[in-house]
Amino acid sequence: MPALSATTLKLFQECPRCFWLHVNKKIERPRGAFPSLPSGMDRILKVYFDGYRTKNLLPPLIEGKLPGRLSTTPLTLGFTDADLKARLWGKLDDCVVFADGRLAPLDHKTRASPPPDRYYTINYYKFQMDIYALLLERNGYPTSRDAYLVYYSPCEGELHCGVPFEVTVHHVTTNPDGAYATFAAGARCLEGPLPASAPKCHYCAWLERRSAGSSSDLADEDASPFAAPAFKTLPPKPAPHAARKFRAKGEDFLQDLFG
């Protein structure tokens, strides 16, 4: 049974083929190094917020910027849909509870500068908040269908006294029903055959182009004063043990896909 999340369903929205390969064949998009600063900030923020949670207070960093108080609701949530034969799960950064008992997810974001406007939040993070609201509701928690994104951006100051941060809070209205519709569509996609690539998927476009021609063809097409040097011949075949490793990760399947 596939276990999906806001991240994997965002991939489904970007490209059904990449999503299908990621979940069904464990063939992931190539990734670069992931910065460790945001995860370090999340850890420090959790300790800071927990100190005020026991006092039923909002931390001074966000006091007056949003209503309610910090919730004690479990933050790792999930549910299994028997009809879809799939599970949805997620881990919220935090949650606020209003005076009437309804909940709203809260998420921390670290940026080099404050977000340009609320549309930035809607474009990049609203779906994540939709999923979190859905998870809360499916686990029996009433929600206000609100969500809050808290952005932390470093600003100038006396650094020997600590790095000062500008705090910006954006509110979004969530749509758990729309999130469930995407979850259902993603689960159905996984049960079917390999879907077509999204028209604007650069990963699929590169792979198809790379598989359709030789290295010399690509070198000729990409030739420019600023292009990186290209190999004129194919690299040697990997050693037998390396070939087995590649096959285990799905090389044979890729050969079937693109010849």
For residue 146, the one-letter residue type is: D
pLDDT of residue 229: 46
Q: What's the chain's length in residues?
A: 259
β-pairing, 86-91 vs 3-4, is parallel
The tens digit of pLDDT for each residue in 116-147 reads 899 999 999 999 999 999 999 999 999 999 99
**pTM summary value:** 0.80
Q: Check pLDDT > 60 for residue 48.
A: yes
The H or E element spanning position 104 is strand 103-110
**Range of 35-39, 218-222, 255-259 with top mean pLDDT:** 35-39
For the chain, what is the mean pLDDT?
A: 86
175, 178, 221 from 185: Cα distances, Å: 16, 11, 38
**Two tokens at 202?**
């650069």
User: Tell me, what DSSP letter sits at residue 36?
Assistant: S
Quick one: average pLDDT of 219-246?
Answer: 49
Edge-to-edge strands, sheet with 86-91: 3-4, 86-91, 76-81
For residue 233, what pLDDT band results from cuts at 50, 70 and 90? low
pLDDT tens across 104-120, in order? 999 999 998 999 899 99
- Give the bridge partners for 87, in sequence order: 3, 80
64-92 pLDDT, tens digit per residue, is 999 999 999 999 999 999 999 999 999 99
Q: Name the pLDDT band for 255 (thresholds 50, 70, 90).
A: very low
Using alpha carbons only, give the angle 249, 246, 255 rounded to the nearest 5 degrees.
85
- For the chain, percent of residues with pLDDT exceeding 90: 67
pLDDT above 80: residue 250: no
Segment 203-228 mean pLDDT: 63
pLDDT digits (tens, 9 = 90+) for 152-168: 999 888 888 888 899 99
pLDDT at 221 over 50: no
Query: Which residue segments constitute the domains of the chain, with CATH numbers given?
Result: 3-191 (3.90.320.10), 213-258 (no CATH)
Least confident of 9-18, 109-118, 190-199: 109-118
**No. of H helices and E strands in the chain?**
9, 8
CA distance 6 to 150: 18
Residue 34's φ and ψ, nearest 5 degrees, are -100, 130
